[in-house]
Amino acid sequence: MPGTGKTVCVLEVIKKINLKFDFVHINAMQLTNPNAVYTIIYEKITETKTSPANAALYLDDFFKRKDKTRVLMQNK
């Protein structure tokens, strides 16, 4: 339900917990296509662009592997 304060609440909690981690804020209402979420996450991890299909395949592999550095190095 838009406009109920969910995003504001989550962003405020993230600001207050003061942990060191990378945060990706994705507003689904601004996506032109639901599959665009894959490219946004992919770009945050790799700092490069690709298609949603390639991003989805990469992210599937990335999150299944224990050695994330190895997956990142294969992408470069």
According to DSSP, residue 29 is labeled G
Asked if the model's pLDDT at residue 73 lies above 70, the reply is: no
pTM of the predicted model as reported, rounded to 2 decimal places: 0.73
Task: Report pLDDT digits (tens) over 18-70.
Answer: 878 788 889 888 899 999 999 999 999 999 999 999 999 999 988 888 877 76
List of residues 6+ apart from 11 with CB closer than 8 A: 25
Domain positions in the chain = 26-75
- Check residues 73 and 28 and name the one with the higher pLDDT: 28
Residue 22, pLDDT score: 81
Residue 8: name the closest of 25, 20, 32 by CA: 25
